[in-house]
Amino acid sequence: MSIEDLRLERRGDRWRIAVDEVYPTDRADLWSACTDLHRLRRWMADYRGDLRLGGRWEAMSDGEVWGAGTVTACEPMEGFTSTWEVEGEPSSTLVVRLEDAEGGTRLVLEHDGMTGAFYSAGWAVYLGMLADHVVAPTREDLASVGFETRFSPARERWAPRVAAAGLD
């Protein structure tokens, strides 16, 4: 997964990103990596709540909630839709779909309604960490060490692309 694979577009004063990536694992494993609270903790963030249809979830770092949402659609092993809520920002929508693909399972992610173009750098980092997690699912340090180490370089790589497109 590289930041260059993300598609970014401006929609009024909001942003939409889309990416699809094939992970070398089966659908059940990728679904678990994206919806099991214990596995999410290993590669993305500490989550609590209910990731089933109608469920409410929260994402935390160092015990502080930084994001929340409600699962508005869910078809196990196929995909889900959730609101994405960050304090001080309008709600946005996250859609994740899984598809069979040669060599594994394709994850298609769309995040629509974001307030900043640099969410794309964050998603590039998270999806890269997901790739690392799929290869080494018992590794515990990806979420704590991985994001902080990878985000600044990803943001720097993305900045010229945003500026060249007049998107900043």
**Predicted TM-score (pTM) of this structure:** 0.86
User: Residues 129, 10, 163, CA angle at the centre, nearest 5°?
Assistant: 75
pLDDT at 1: 46
Domain ranges of the chain: 3-164
Domain boundaries 3-164, corresponding CATH code:
3.30.530.20
Of the pLDDT bands very low, low, confident and very high (cuts 50, 70, 90), residue 148 is: low
Q: Which tokens in the block code for residue 64?
A: 């502080």
Q: How far apart are the first and last CA of the chain?
A: 23
pLDDT at 116: 78
CB 70 within 8 A of CB 92: no
Mean pLDDT, the chain, rounded, equals: 86
Find the DSSP H helices in 36-146.
37-43, 119-135
